[in-house]
Chain A
């Protein structure tokens, strides 16, 4: 079945460091790909999305490119801030029903 694999956390970085959180997927068909973020004590917020190969999603300085050849959707940010500390979830949905299939989540800790 369809699945999403994320790098395990926690990932601990210093402020202004470069961030990469790896995400790979397995899916039949052509999924849409998403990154959601969960700040401490809050719900799930959409961070960015991409719906077809080579699309780049971007928001708040974060970017991810839909790579069909490597079945990946890695999240990157050039310079992280303390306020980026959160849990980041990679997810996919397919045309049937659009339910989201989730990765395990990666906790990001940014130290000042």
Chain B
């Protein structure tokens, strides 16, 4: 069965550094999402991407965050200048159409020191 894959599984970064989290969605999917889960808290929506542009973003997704789909297969989340509070598990998801569920990757654990 096709899977969403995320790399790296764990990223440790110094505060203030840029970080790029990578995702390869399922190949024929059209909708792409990033969520995050701070340890011990609920999963939160960050951003959705459809038709090569952001379709919606949450208030968490400020100017420090950006997403790209650079080559038609990868879907990346960039945090420009990381803060301690960005430490979380980041999940990528993709979906074929509005009638299907979202499929998730295993997540990237981001630790900011």
Are B104 and A43 within 8 A (Cβ)? yes
A69 within 8 A of B: no
Interface SS majority for chain B: strand
- B35 contact from A95, A98, A100, Cβ within 8 A: A100
Tell me which residues across on chain A come within 8 A of B98, comparing CB atoms: 95, 98
Interface residues of A (CB under 8 A from B): 34, 36, 42-46, 49, 51, 89, 91, 93, 95-105
Task: Enumerate chain A residues within 8 angstroms of B43, measured Cβ to Cβ.
Answer: 44, 89, 91, 100, 102, 105
Number of A-B contacts (CB under 8 A): 53
Distance in angstroms from B58 CB to nearest chain A CB is 8
Alpha-carbon gap, A69 to B37, bound state (A) = 31
Q: Do A45 and B104 touch across chains, with their CB atoms under 8 A apart?
A: yes
A43 with B101: CB separation less than 8 A: no
Q: Are A43 and B56 in contact, with the CB atoms below 8 A? A: no
Provided the pairs A44-B104, A46-B101, A46-B103 are in contact, do residues A97 and B42 lie with their beta carbons within 8 angstroms? Answer: no
The answer to whether the Cβ of B75 comes within 8 Å of any Cβ in the partner chain is no
Q: List 16 A-B contacts (CB under 8 A).
A: A36-B104, A44-B91, A46-B102, A51-B99, A89-B42, A89-B43, A93-B102, A95-B98, A97-B48, A98-B48, A101-B45, A102-B42, A102-B44, A104-B41, A105-B42, A105-B43
